[in-house]
């Protein structure tokens, strides 16, 4: 006979018929190499990425991301892999960043800037969700609704960052009285 009871610290404690308390075990999170093996088992292509030190390119169905070992953390729930380059469409061997210009999303690489199609945005979204699920990364609500961009460059905001002249004070006359 087993019964479940909440402990003082909010964790679940399993009480066995002999009356002894047994803590539930946490699942072990895979390390970086095990994470890469898990991705390979789920049909991801894994290759080294020379542009990032220690980076590994994970790609599937035309989308890709560069993963690196995550910094050591005290929290055991943190994933073993971190993004060096966030998910994007592969363009000539490079992961394209998603650029939002307000009226259209674009795929930007070091050489090209191409308009993104709906198919490409859906591929990035599906790839991101599957990659986060397998690596143990958190999936945020706004990201699960659709594709989010890496960079936002709205044309109506261009030039606003230029410095404006110092405003005149009401007690100062503009003609130098």
* Exposure of 32 in the CB half-sphere (CA atoms within 13 A): 15
Q: Which comes out higher in pLDDT, residue 66 or 168?
A: 66
Q: What is the pLDDT of residue 56?
A: 92
In a domain, 161, yes or no: no
Q: What is the pLDDT of residue 149?
A: 63
E strands along 37-170, which residues?
45-48, 56-60, 63-69, 81-91, 94-95, 97-100, 105-108, 113-115, 151-152
Q: What is the pLDDT of residue 63?
A: 92
In a domain, 143, yes or no: yes
Rounded Cα–Cα distance for residues 45 and 59 (Å): 5
Structure tokens at 28: 């072990």
Q: Which comes out higher in pLDDT, residue 157 or 86?
A: 86
Share of the chain above pLDDT 70, in %: 63
Q: What is the pLDDT of residue 46?
A: 93
In a domain, 19, yes or no: no
In a domain, 63, yes or no: yes
In a domain, 169, yes or no: no
* 0.85 exceeded by pTM: no
Residue for token digits 């261009």?
158
Residues of the domain holding 143: 32-156
The number of domains in the chain is 1
With bands split at pLDDT 50, 70 and 90, how would you rate the model's confidence at 176?
low
With bands split at pLDDT 50, 70 and 90, how would you rate the model's confidence at 164?
low
In a domain, 107, yes or no: yes
Q: What is the pLDDT of residue 66?
A: 93
In a domain, 8, yes or no: no
In a domain, 167, yes or no: no
């Amino acid at each position: 006979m087993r019964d479940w009871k909440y402990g003082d610290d909010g964790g679940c404690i399993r009480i066995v018929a002999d009356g002894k308390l047994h803590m539930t075990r946490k699942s072990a999170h895979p390390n970086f190499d095990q994470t890469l093996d898990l991705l390979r088992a789920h049909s991801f292509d894994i290759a080294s990425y020379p542009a990032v030190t220690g980076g590994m390119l994970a790609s599937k169905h035309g989308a890709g991301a560069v993963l690196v070992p995550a910094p050591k953390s005290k929290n055991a729930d943190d994933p073993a892999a971190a993004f060096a380059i966030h998910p994007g469409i592969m363009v000539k061997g490079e992961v394209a960043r998603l650029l939002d210009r307000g009226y259209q999303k674009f795929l930007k690489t070091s050489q090209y800037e191409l308009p993104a199609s709906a198919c490409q945005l859906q591929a990035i979204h599906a790839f991101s969700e599957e990659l986060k699920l397998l690596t143990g990364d958190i999936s945020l609500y706004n990201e699960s609704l659709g594709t989010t961009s890496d960079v936002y460059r709205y044309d109506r905001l261009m030039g606003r960052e230029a410095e404006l002249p110092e405003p005149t004070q009401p007690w100062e006359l503009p003609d130098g009285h």
